[in-house]
A and B are shown apart, each in its own frame.
Chain A
């Protein structure tokens, strides 16, 4: 299954994609899909006979000829996310971009939180949300000095696996490269501000 390459750049590629699958492949749940969407030829003899057992044609066509892309059902198919991500890492990123939940860890906290980055319009909103969530003050960002006046600094892990200070790059770029957030405190945080 070398389908991975096709999905790299465009979320909606599957709508226009040509596929060499069996008729009826690629279908999950979608109510009311019109069978007319599909231009495939009818199935070979044996299948058609089987399908003609009193079922209305539209339904028969629907099940066997409609590989149209379907809405995703939460938690389906029942595969561990670890496994899903290992198979199609790029696809996982694309999926995550629509409602993009990232983990937020804070040093010293017993467990992590998760936030949806897409609900924030920019850095100020994100920082206020983090301040609320963890009951702390992060302060104002400045390019020269990082987050001055606070013992906390928000950092994020980017696509290359590097830990970056939140706020350096344009918001859109941050959204597309942020994999997870970590709020560091203490001496590590102060170090970031000192004009390195």
Chain B
């Protein structure tokens, strides 16, 4: 292939879109590396501290779209202090300085300030898409800057962010000339929005296909929006407070009748009374349904709705649907690929689904490959049945609300059940487990989970052997996060080279000591070994035999980071 001119190679590489494939292409030979790198438009950086923005820009000068992830996954569960890190500002500042033609930015678990949003809006004239997932540090003022200055904005997608709300003027900041919006999601904003500005914006956005509203948009405005945007494909209803006999409600029913392109439905953040029959009209077209933020909808309503959703591929729901409701899902939704069942009462720890619901899903839905399931109890027999019914799982996450609870029938640990899952599901890439588990389950995982990339463990195992089985056996492991397990220094130090083949390792409330962490950091200069010392429990000069409460290590080419707060020590 050496005698193809560069442009031809570049054109061929255009068809190679996944990052992994492009990485492979770039490793074939030097000319391919050069051409691929100079023409790659989309870059994914799974850990913003693994590499410096300068190096990314140098290697990929044609960069137009970047995805960055910051905080460790366990930050989602309040295990990482808020100011640990994950600041995006240095990246944006570097892109602006080098005049990168940035068009798309997607961030997950990062801190982004209003100043940064303002900088984005002023530095990249072709900026089209901003997607922020579980980020914080910004207010609606920052959104106002984006709205005002990004003339070709197509997508503003805010998912589950903690945004300080200075009240809805940001919506009015979209100029009258802005008609390019395709996707707008502000469901996570807690404050009021300027409803008139919203209606006008939607009226002048003929390409709008995805719209997710927050709780502050009442029914009459929803109805008028739907009239103006009949081509919507994805709708997030904010507030659904209705009176089934009112004129507004009747108008809503008519409006929904016009929106037959809607394939994805979510929201219902406030529901009163929980009467969803107006939406039964569009249910037969739905492929994606997310009612996991709607605790106001009763199980019976949910079931009535789902009976109409024969084409559903993705379902996120609360456990108030019950085992009976999951059986209805199993018999109705034959195309189901992904399901997530969240607890509706996390504080008390009362989940309304058990192993019965899981088994029903596995036997009714042949295409099911991704599951997140919070339940009250589980049995090995059920897991073994599920493994037999569904060998195609790629993502399997089970959470029993009582984390050390054994098999509800036999009182045994769940080693055999999860063993069956990893043995049967040869393509399993992500796994998280709960319940009583011994070292044995890790032996099974090490033996069978050959494609496993991400594993989350809590309150499991007996000795270092458990973790050693994992590190030895799972060749493709990239992210490992462990909390409250009796794994210690012998396991941590068994194969230090392994950590350079992984993105990161998190260990908290385990048996690892400061001495072992220091030793690891010394041996592996291309790892950042961070100790998070929140309550001044430890001294750097302290006794090395002390146990480390929280350790996070990750491979990096950027060296020790300079923005770590006082309580984070990089060893």
Residues of A within 8 A of B (CB): 1-4, 7, 14, 19, 21-22, 24-29, 47, 50-51, 53, 55, 59-60, 63-64, 69-70, 72-84, 86-88, 91, 95, 103, 105, 110-114, 161, 180, 182
**Residues of chain B within 8 A of A27, CB atoms compared:** 349, 402, 405
Q: Which residue of B lies closest to A27 (CB)?
A: B402
Q: Could you tell me the distance between the alpha carbons of A84 and B136 in the complex, rounded to whole angstroms?
A: 17
Is the CB–CB distance between B78 and A81 below 8 Å? Answer: yes
Q: Could you tell me the distance between the alpha carbons of A113 and B269 in the complex, rounded to whole angstroms?
A: 29
Is the CB–CB distance between B410 and A114 below 8 Å? Answer: no
**Residues of chain A within 8 A of B408, CB atoms compared:** 24, 47, 50, 64
Within 8 A of A (CB), among B386-407: 399, 401-406
**Residues of chain A within 8 A of B87, CB atoms compared:** 110-111
Q: Which residue of B lies closest to A69 (CB)?
A: B348
Within 8 A of A (CB), among B345-385: 345-350, 352, 374, 376-377
Is the CB–CB distance between A4 and B295 below 8 Å? Answer: yes
**Residues of chain A within 8 A of B161, CB atoms compared:** 82
20 A-B pairs (CB sep. < 8 Å): A1-B295, A1-B318, A1-B320, A22-B376, A25-B350, A25-B376, A28-B401, A28-B403, A69-B348, A76-B403, A77-B401, A78-B77, A79-B346, A80-B76, A82-B162, A87-B346, A110-B87, A111-B113, A112-B83, A161-B191
Q: Could you tell me the distance between the alpha carbons of A24 and B410 in the complex, rounded to whole angstroms?
A: 15
B344 at the interface (CB under 8 A from A): yes
Known: A50-B411, A88-B295. 6 other contacts (CB 8 A): A1-B318, A50-B409, A64-B408, A87-B344, A87-B346, A95-B347
Residue in A55, A79, A88, A110 whose beta carbon sits within 8 Å of that of B113 in the complex: A110
Instruction: Indicate whether A77 sits within 8 Å of B405 (C-beta atoms), given known contacts A1-B344, A25-B350, A60-B411.
Output: no
**Residues of chain A within 8 A of B342, CB atoms compared:** 79, 83
Residue in A60, A73, A114, A180 whose beta carbon sits within 8 Å of that of B164 in the complex: A180
CB distance from B273 to the nearest CB of A (A): 13
Q: Could you tell me the distance between the alpha carbons of A193 and B342 in the complex, rounded to whole angstroms?
A: 48
Is the CB–CB distance between B350 and A83 below 8 Å? Answer: no
**Residues of chain B within 8 A of A82, CB atoms compared:** 134, 160-162, 188
Residue in A4, A47, A79 whose beta carbon sits within 8 Å of that of B77 in the complex: A79
Is the CB–CB distance between B376 and A79 below 8 Å? Answer: no
**Residues of chain A within 8 A of B164, CB atoms compared:** 103, 105, 180, 182
Q: Could you tell me the distance between the alpha carbons of A10 and B483 in the complex, rounded to whole angstroms?
A: 32
CB distance from A127 to the nearest CB of B (A): 21
Is the CB–CB distance between B292 and A83 below 8 Å? Answer: yes
Residue in B79, B89, B191, B192 whose beta carbon sits within 8 Å of that of A110 in the complex: B89
Is the CB–CB distance between A87 and B403 below 8 Å? Answer: no
Residue in B165, B188, B350, B405 whose beta carbon sits within 8 Å of that of A63 in the complex: B405
B82 at the interface (CB under 8 A from A): yes
Q: Could you tell me the distance between the alpha carbons of A95 and B269 in the complex, rounded to whole angstroms?
A: 21
Q: Which residue of B lies closest to A4 (CB)?
A: B295
Is the CB–CB distance between A84 and B346 below 8 Å? Answer: yes
Q: Could you tell me the distance between the alpha carbons of A64 and B376 in the complex, rounded to whole angstroms?
A: 11
State the interface size on chain B (CB cutoff 8 A).
60
Is the CB–CB distance between B77 and A88 below 8 Å? Answer: no
Q: Which residue of A lies closest to B85 (CB)?
A: A111
Is the CB–CB distance between A86 and B269 below 8 Å? Answer: yes
Is the CB–CB distance between A91 and B347 below 8 Å? Answer: yes
Residue in A14, A73, A83 whose beta carbon sits within 8 Å of that of B293 in the complex: A83
B458 at the interface (CB under 8 A from A): yes
Is the CB–CB distance between B292 and A88 below 8 Å? Answer: no
Is the CB–CB distance between B405 and A70 below 8 Å? Answer: no
Is the CB–CB distance between A111 and B111 below 8 Å? Answer: yes
Is the CB–CB distance between B160 and A80 below 8 Å? Answer: yes
Q: Could you tell me the distance between the alpha carbons of A64 and B162 in the complex, rounded to whole angstroms?
A: 39
Q: Could you tell me the distance between the alpha carbons of A88 and B188 in the complex, rounded to whole angstroms?
A: 15
Q: Could you tell me the distance between the alpha carbons of A4 and B297 in the complex, rounded to whole angstroms?
A: 13
Q: Which residue of B lies closest to A50 (CB)?
A: B409
Instruction: Indicate whether A111 sits within 8 Å of B399 (C-beta atoms), given known contacts A1-B345, A81-B78.
Output: no
Q: Which residue of A lies closest to B484 (CB)?
A: A73
B343 at the interface (CB under 8 A from A): yes
Q: Could you tell me the distance between the alpha carbons of A147 and B269 in the complex, rounded to whole angstroms?
A: 39
* Residue with the greatest number of chain B CB neighbours at <10 A, chosen from A14, A51, A63, A69: A63
**Residues of chain B within 8 A of A74, CB atoms compared:** 78-79
**Residues of chain A within 8 A of B78, CB atoms compared:** 74-75, 81
**Residues of chain A within 8 A of B46, CB atoms compared:** none
Instruction: Indicate whether A110 sits within 8 Å of B350 (C-beta atoms), given known contacts A29-B404, A77-B399, A79-B343.
Output: no
Is the CB–CB distance between B343 and A77 below 8 Å? Answer: yes
**Residues of chain A within 8 A of B44, CB atoms compared:** none
CB distance from B89 to the nearest CB of A (A): 7
B473 at the interface (CB under 8 A from A): no
**Residues of chain B within 8 A of A51, CB atoms compared:** 411
Proximity string of chain B (108-131) to chain A, C-beta cutoff 8 Å, 1 when within and 0 when not: 000101010000000000000000
Within 8 A of A (CB), among B65-85: 74, 76-79, 82-83
Q: Which residue of B lies closest to A64 (CB)?
A: B408
Is the CB–CB distance between B293 and A50 below 8 Å? Answer: no
Q: Which residue of A lies closest to B161 (CB)?
A: A82
Within 8 A of A (CB), among B278-294: 292-293
CB distance from B399 to the nearest CB of A (A): 6
Is the CB–CB distance between A1 and B137 below 8 Å? Answer: no
CB distance from A84 to the nearest CB of B (A): 5
**Residues of chain B within 8 A of A180, CB atoms compared:** 164
Q: Could you tell me the distance between the alpha carbons of A20 and B111 in the complex, rounded to whole angstroms?
A: 43
Is the CB–CB distance between B344 and A14 below 8 Å? Answer: no
Q: Could you tell me the distance between the alpha carbons of A69 and B293 in the complex, rounded to whole angstroms?
A: 25
Q: Could you tell me the distance between the alpha carbons of A79 and B319 in the complex, rounded to whole angstroms?
A: 14
**Residues of chain B within 8 A of A86, CB atoms compared:** 269, 293, 295
* Minimum-distance CB pairs A-B, first 6: A75-B77, A50-B409, A1-B344, A82-B160, A75-B79, A80-B76
Is the CB–CB distance between A110 and B115 below 8 Å? Answer: yes
Q: Could you tell me the distance between the alpha carbons of A167 and B135 in the complex, rounded to whole angstroms?
A: 31
**Residues of chain B within 8 A of A47, CB atoms compared:** 408-409
Q: Which residue of B lies closest to A86 (CB)?
A: B293
**Residues of chain B within 8 A of A78, CB atoms compared:** 76-77, 399, 432, 456, 458
Proximity string of chain B (286-310) to chain A, C-beta cutoff 8 Å, 1 when within and 0 when not: 0000001101001000000000000
CB distance from A188 to the nearest CB of B (A): 12
CB distance from B456 to the nearest CB of A (A): 8
